[in-house]
Chain A
Amino acid sequence: MKNSRVFVAAALLIASGLGIFFYKIFSLGFPVTPDTTANIWNVEASVSFSTQGKSAKVSSFIPKSTSRFSILDESFISRGFGLSTVTRDSNRAAEWSIRRVSGKQTLFYHAVVRELERSNSTVTTKPPLVEDPQFEGAELEAAKTILSESKAQSADVLSQVREVLQRVQAKDRDDATSLLLGPKPSELDKLSLASKVLALDRIVLRIVHGIQLIDNRRNVPLIRWLEVHTGGTWVSLDSFGNPSKDLELTLPWWRGTEAIGYISGGSRLGIQIAVSRHEESAVTAILDSGQSSKPFLLEFSLFSLPLQTQGVFRIMLLVPLGGFLIVLLRNVVGLPTFGTFMPVLVALSFRETDILMGCIFFSLVVAIGLVVRFWLEKLKLLLVPRLAAVLTFVVLLLAIVAIAAHKFGVEHGLSIALFPMVILTMTIERMSIVWDELGASDALKQGFGSLFAAVLATFVFTYEPVEHLIFVFPELLLIVAALCLLLGRYSGYRLTELRRFRAFAEKP
């Protein structure tokens, strides 16, 4: 019948998929498994701003090589802009300028950073120059008070630093600190004051801004810590003066109290940083070699895309796998789910929140949503307005859960915003109709079926070798498509039917 055509199409897809796959492995030497041994990272900063048709000048700090990190390669994408890198107060900055420009602009800075092996013997460095804090009059007296009081209560430089920091961080400040800090000091004001006060005693405390090198992060947040020079080395401290240990894989970006960048002749400056592990260093080496005679396949590599876009595709290419999983679960197992691909979308958000938190959030939002839906049922609203009302409540619920999670210090709550809220609303609506028409057990069965499918899909999405394989070898998706075609003609029993038709197994 038609089956033969399906087999031919599937065979063609599998052959071409495997063909490209093996060609890339054996002929071009692409790595099959991710190389996680090398601590090499891609760091990309995108600098965006608006201009009004005049000349504009933008400056942004950029990282520099240190004893712990070495910058292997860096590049700037800034069409039409003049570019110079300058050193300011031991920081590096990129400065872009242009005569006439209007509209929204985006410039890119891209660096490949390697974390160096830590040598056991600590390198001693020369004490840096102490800047004059330039206190005058009453301020100088207040600063001296803080300094002498903290000095009296401490034994060494580190405890003195901690003492000063705890004074500026304290909720109810004494007279001297409130005079120096003013009414509403920011975190940065406080740290900067501590640094200036300590400078009077020739102690160098500097504020460091940096990013954590976490794989596949877009919008990496800037974190801030302190460094104090004592005994010939720099010691890292948190903003309360306690030694900070979790600064592994933290790349310093710049030091001091300035903002990361500034603009003149424009507005709405935004700098976003993205990080990804440079695990495909082998792939990059292949791509870079023999520029003149690049095979066609390499020209069309996903690695030629900007880092941010690569991040998007890393996730997007996994979606077909989720779709295939749903085919298996529905047509071979017979698992009931709400909506065909709802579990895949939920799984994509679980990827950001982690599974346990995701399941709790999902159940919570659906459960409360159902309560709201049953209450709305009593008001006898029409379908579409009712859906819109449930959607509104779902969004508010997500906001409340995110705020609550943040208050309890669970940062996962913030990524709940990626929850597919329209899908959740439709789930709630369908679940409540099933609940009314077929009873609670059917509704819960389908609800847990969906959750189970989502959890399974999340396992697939977060399994690193799979992500690597699909991203480096997107042609494998042709095989996924072939398997979908084949399953499209699967006419055998579903697993759940073996139970449904169990009466046929009983002896009459």
Chain B
Amino acid sequence: MRFAWPWELAAKGVVGINQRNADFVLPFNDRERYPLVDDKLRTKTLALEHGIAAPELYALIESNHQVSSLRSRIGDIQSFVIKPAGGSGGQGILVFTAATKDRFRTIHGPMLPLEQLEHHVLNILTGMFSLGGQPDKAIIEYRVESDPVFEPVSYRGVPDVRIILFLGVPIMAMLRLPTSTSEGKANLHQGAIGAGVSMRDGKTTTAVSGGVIVSEHPDTGHSIIGLQIPHWERLLDIAVQCSDLAQLGYIGVDLVIDKDKGPLLLEMNARPGLAIQLANRSGLESRIRKVQSFRKDLSDRDSRVAFAIASF
């Protein structure tokens, strides 16, 4: 089959972009809450204030004249990430694993000279990666080191767990695995693999790559199915907490699991993508309806986590 008929998609409750925007994002997400999730720095500060762990902020560069002190700000940190505070879709992120006085080793292998780092930071500041080209800030933060559980199923980068919540209830989750095509990035649009995750036990179910069903990692050849995500209930709890902080009705929360620090909040998204449905081979609509009909009974955090585990 080269395509699906609309009624086939409707029967499975698949949500399209128009429906996501018209029925969920516009009515349930207050526009004034967007800056909180669009600016990764604000997300991080807010999370830390409320006791949610996030990658440690090493340095913040807000204006062009601060760029000259980039080297001294990095100090003797060997491994770190540079990212735009207002970036989207994983754009503009550089990951470094080692540093000398004026050269830095990227996760892909090549060394970058200091000037190139400075140039990249300047590009971030002028807004090259931000929504609508707004002037931006550059974040230098802790490089997450993946939990060893994920080693056989990821290529260079760090896999992350995307959880979609509706009215504060986790409704769907997926594990995003970097590949060589995605250049170590955990973004599905760039070629990463999305594996659906069972809400009940945190095990991967099915996986998708570029719209096609897959069961093995293309680079490592290891099976992606039936993988147990560690700290599953803790991840759901953090996601619910994040959703409450953001006060957005329809939200995607991205979490990573560091081998030393455990679950960390990476970012939140007010318009999370729809590929998660393909990864889970399940539509979002029926789950959203279910939450809507039970919303009265779901006031506290624990009950929402329990509801998610029991229902989806």
Interface residues, chain A, CB within 8 Å of chain B?
Answer: 1-2, 331, 334, 380, 382-384, 433, 437-438, 488-494, 497-506, 508
Contact B3 A502 (CB under 8 A): yes
The CA of A497 and the CA of B283, in the complex, are separated in Å by: 13
Q: Select which of B9, B115, B283 is within 8 A of A498 by beta carbon.
A: B9
Contacts of B189 in A (CB 8 A): 438
A490 vs chain B, min Cβ distance (A): 6
B170 vs chain A, min Cβ distance (A): 22
Contact flags (1/0) for B96-121 with A, using CB distance below 8 Å? 00000000000000000001100100
Binding site of B, secondary structure by majority: helix, strand, loop or mixed? helix
Minimal Cβ-Cβ distance residue in B for A2? B27
A446 vs chain B, min Cβ distance (A): 13
Besides A491-B18, A492-B16, A504-B8, 17 more A-B contacts (Cβ < 8 Å) are A380-B116, A380-B119, A383-B126, A384-B126, A437-B89, A437-B190, A489-B22, A491-B16, A491-B21, A491-B23, A493-B16, A494-B17, A498-B6, A500-B211, A503-B208, A505-B1, A505-B8
In the assembled complex, B277 has its CB within 8 A of some CB on chain A: yes
**Which residues B1-51 have CB closer than 8 A to chain A?**
1-6, 8-10, 12, 14, 16-19, 21-23, 27
Listed A/B pairs (6) with beta-carbon separation below 8 Å = A334-B17, A500-B278, A503-B213, A504-B277, A504-B283, A505-B8
Contacts of A504 in B (CB 8 A): 4, 8-9, 12, 14, 277-278, 281, 283
How many residues of chain B are within 8 Å of chain A by beta carbon?
40
Contacts of B277 in A (CB 8 A): 501, 504
Contact A505 B281 (CB under 8 A): no
A270 vs chain B, min Cβ distance (A): 40
Contacts of B242 in A (CB 8 A): none
Interface residues, chain B, CB within 8 Å of chain A?
Answer: 1-6, 8-10, 12, 14, 16-19, 21-23, 27, 89, 91, 115-116, 119, 122-123, 126-128, 133, 189-190, 208, 211-213, 277-278, 281, 283
Contacts of A505 in B (CB 8 A): 1, 3-5, 8-9
Contact B211 A503 (CB under 8 A): yes
Contact B22 A490 (CB under 8 A): yes
A93 vs chain B, min Cβ distance (A): 56
The CA of A254 and the CA of B206, in the complex, are separated in Å by: 82
Contacts of B12 in A (CB 8 A): 504
Contact B128 A433 (CB under 8 A): yes
B184 vs chain A, min Cβ distance (A): 13
Contact B18 A492 (CB under 8 A): yes
Known: A383-B127, A500-B211, A503-B208. A508 touches B281 (CB 8 A): yes
The CA of A492 and the CA of B27, in the complex, are separated in Å by: 16
B283 vs chain A, min Cβ distance (A): 8
A497 vs chain B, min Cβ distance (A): 5
Most buried by B among A491, A499, A508: A491
List the 5 shortest-distance A-B pairs measured between CB atoms, nearest first. Answer: A505-B4, A383-B126, A491-B19, A491-B22, A493-B16
Contact A492 B19 (CB under 8 A): yes
Contact B18 A498 (CB under 8 A): no
Minimal Cβ-Cβ distance residue in B for A489? B22
Contacts of B16 in A (CB 8 A): 491-494, 497
Contact A498 B3 (CB under 8 A): yes
Contact A503 B278 (CB under 8 A): yes
Contacts of A334 in B (CB 8 A): 17
Contacts of A331 in B (CB 8 A): 18
Minimal Cβ-Cβ distance residue in B for A426? B133
The CA of A499 and the CA of B8, in the complex, are separated in Å by: 12
Contact A438 B211 (CB under 8 A): no
Contact B3 A383 (CB under 8 A): no
Contacts of A499 in B (CB 8 A): 2-4, 211
Contacts of A488 in B (CB 8 A): 22
